[in-house]
């Protein structure tokens, strides 16, 4: 049985065809007319899916987590894919990233990780638990606070 996957608006909608061919139910956020939805509504909608897939826009992990904090705090599992900055075929690169070590990242999600980051066309995978994510965010806040008081 496949997963129910929500594709963020920054993911090409054609990826839903690839995921369906792999046996998953894939819904692109624009299919639901939800492009530009605010975080609280996105979190509520995404909770009905097994995971949300998004593209990494070359932000550092801490910055991405701060911007997307509501997803993690809301209990949404996220797969974040980082593509090369210049890619002639994003669908091919996305597909390669997802299937290269698919068992590994699916296993991480099944084991309770809430954030999986896939880079280098799938050859590098990092998985974080909710506690790890919250610790990273807490450290970011503490770092800002100590920098401001110095």
Rounded to whole angstroms, how far apart are CA atoms 20 and 6?
Answer: 12
| Structural domains of the chain ordered from first start | 4-149 (3.40.50)
Helix (H, G, I), strand (E, B) or coil at 131: helix
pLDDT-based confidence at residue 120 (cuts at 50, 70, 90): confident
Please give the Cα distance from 147 to 139 (Å, whole number).
Answer: 12
Burial of 76 (0-12, 13-18, 19+ CB in 10 A): buried
Distance CA 12, CA 97 (A): 14
Condensed to tens digits (0 to 9), the pLDDT of residues 101-119 reads: 999 999 999 999 999 999 9
pTM: 0.87
Distance CA 89, CA 76 (A): 28
DSSP secondary structure letter of residue 8: P
């Amino acid at each position: 049985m496949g997963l129910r996957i929500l594709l963020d608006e920054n993911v090409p909608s054609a990826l839903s065809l690839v995921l369906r061919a792999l046996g998953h139910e894939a819904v692109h956020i624009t299919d639901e007319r939800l492009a530009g939805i605010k975080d609280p509504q996105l979190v509520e909608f995404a909770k009905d899916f097994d995971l949300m897939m998004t593209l990494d826009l070359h932000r550092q992990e801490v910055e991405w987590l701060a911007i997307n904090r509501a997803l993690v705090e809301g209990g949404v599992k996220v797969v974040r894919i980082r593509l090369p900055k210049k890619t002639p075929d994003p669908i091919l690169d996305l597909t390669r990233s997802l299937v290269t070590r698919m068992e590994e990242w699916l296993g991480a999600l099944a084991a309770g990780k809430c954030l999986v980051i896939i880079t280098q066309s799938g050859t590098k995978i990092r998985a974080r638990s909710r506690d790890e994510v919250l610790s990273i965010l807490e450290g970011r806040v503490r770092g800002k606070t100590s920098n401001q008081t110095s």
